[in-house]
Structure 1
């Protein structure tokens, strides 16, 4: 759903840029509260994983494909504020390096793909978690539903932005029907990917999932060959949070590199939902050439590398590497700034001296 330059006029694009900048500023402050010894090492990895999976377009209808938006996944794994930043980092890397999503439309894309999906998904997720039994299965189910709804929500926001600032004279009703219809199907794919990813992490390290905090599992003891609940005062060997994140981080990075560097070659070549609707309804007639069209990595290929498989694979690996470095730098800086700020107790102590 990357909006190119020329779809939305300059005033609305500028207004969306102001909204996006404000949301990013708020998220930078909010992320300081979310990032801790568990989430800070993984936030950059989540951004890189989203970048990798977005390269895997999957078929959803005749001649149409879809890909992960990632807002729901990021919000549930590392928190809504950090989630907005994760997707924003991905969109920035894609726009600047890969000519994917217009640079003048960056504010539109952040508003649509980062803010809308993250906010909608997390609100739905938290609402479901409150009413469902507090279990790992409930976290997975809530992740599925939240991510499913976040995608058509983004389609609706794009339609509203186009209704206000579209550059072509097209029936908004037809655009809305087409956008929501195809993105409901894409949302199913998004929901499956999100639920599988969240479920896999919750199964092995629930302490690393922001949305699963407070999930308590009773300690089991094997007595006479059967598992029974341990007494409430039975001490645990060590808190889960004390375990190293290194294994999960390495597995996640290797998975991202494999997806972007190898699996992406087999992704669907059909246009995604927005591209298909734009072509069918004629809203792409004023699309402008991307400012980074001459980038060495434009269109997810390495310039002067003639082998398509090698070119795309190298571009994917470079993208994952750049995204994980950029994301990790941002999140570690926020984490260090948080730890360097005085706590409320320290402030009161200083004031009383």
Structure 2
């Protein structure tokens, strides 16, 4: 979903750049509460993984292709604030060094794959944990659900932005159907990757997964009560 230069007009690109800057400013403040000696190295590893994952495309119907977005994945593993910073670094490097996504569209891409994907993905993840059994094993399925919804939300946001500032007029319903149709399939792939990665880490080191910390703390408290 890397938006290239010239897809959106200047006012829309400037507006998304402003939203992106505001989101990054909030993330810089919030990341202070998330980052510690355990999370910082993991954040670097996850950013590298997402960077590599976004460079690999998998085929989708109709001759199109998709790739890992990573917003929900990073939010669940290292926290939403740190996750947004990871996504911003990945997108900036891709735009500046690999011409993957336009430079003038960098703000748009940060909004779509950073702000929207992280916020929606993490919100859905937290909501799923409220209704699922309170077990560590539920973290990966909840993360997968957050991943698939985050991809659809990002696609819908792009359609909204294009309907406002697209350089070529396309009927809103036509573009929405096309984007969501493709990105639902991409979201399934995103969900599978997210499930596998989160499940692998949470099985070995649940204490490293930001989204599992409350469950880990509850389990430790229950263990202490039983021991006492």
TM-score, normalised by the number of residues in structure 2: 0.95
Contact kept in structure 2, 1:147 and 1:190, CA below 8 Å: yes
Deviations 1:127-165 (A, max 9, x none): 111221121221111011110100010000000110110
Counterparts of 2:104 and 2:144 in 1: how far apart (Å)? 32
Specify whether residues 23 and 231 from structure 1 end up closer, same or farther in structure 2 by C-alpha distance, changes over 3 A only: closer
- Shift of residue 171, structure 1, vs aligned partner: 1.4
Which is bigger in relative contact order (C-alpha 8 A, separation at least 6)?
Answer: 1
| Pairing 1:111-260 to 2, within 5 Å after superposition | 111-216=111-216, 232-233=226-227
What's the offset of the Cα at 1:213? 0.3
C-alpha distance in structure 2 between counterparts of 1:204 and 1:71, whole Å: 22
CA distance in structure 2 between the partners assigned to 1:169 and 1:218 by the alignment: 55
What residue in structure 2 maps to residue 260 of structure 1? none
- CA change 1:231–1:114 in 2 (3 A) is closer
Q: What is the CA–CA distance in structure 2 between the aligned matches of 1:89 and 1:136, rounded to whole Å?
A: 30
Larger Cα-atom Rg? 1
Consecutive unaligned residues in structure 1, runs of 5 or more: 220-228, 235-353
Q: Which moved more, 1:26-35 or 1:52-61?
A: 52-61
RMSD of Structure 2 on Structure 1 (CA): 1.6
CA distance in 1, matches of 2:214, 2:157: 33
Shift of 1:37: 2.2
Give the structure 1 partner of residue 59 of structure 2: 59
Q: Tell me whether 1:109 sits opposite 2:137 in the alignment.
A: no
Shift of 1:188: 0.1
Structure 1 position 62, deviation (Å) = 3.2
**Contact (CA 8 Å) 1:95, 1:101: kept in 2 or not?**
yes
Aligned equivalents of 1:218, 1:194: Cα separation in 2: 24
Q: What corresponds to 1:76 in structure 2?
A: 76
Q: Look up the SS of the partner of 1:215 in the other structure.
A: helix
Q: Distance in 2 between matches of 1:7 and 1:65?
A: 19
Listed one character per residue, the Cα deviations across residues 292-326 of structure 1 (whole Å, up to 9, x for unaligned) are xxxxxxxxxxxxxxxxxxxxxxxxxxxxxxxxxxx
Preserved contact between residue 136 and residue 199 of structure 1 (Cα < 8 Å)? no
1:285 matched to which residue of 2? none
| C-alpha distance in 1 between matches for 2:104 and 2:56 | 25
Q: Compute the TM-score of the two structures, normalised by the length of structure 1.
A: 0.62
1:263-278 alignment runs, 5 A limit: none
- Residues 141, 195 of structure 2: 8 Å contact kept: yes
Shift of 1:214: 2.2
Structure 1 runs of 4+ with >6 Å offset: none
Q: Which secondary structure does the structure 2 equivalent of 1:30 belong to? A: helix
Relative to structure 1, the CA distance from residue 118 to residue 218 in structure 2 (aligned partners, 3 Å threshold; closer, same or farther) is: closer
Q: Aligned residue pairs: how many?
A: 225
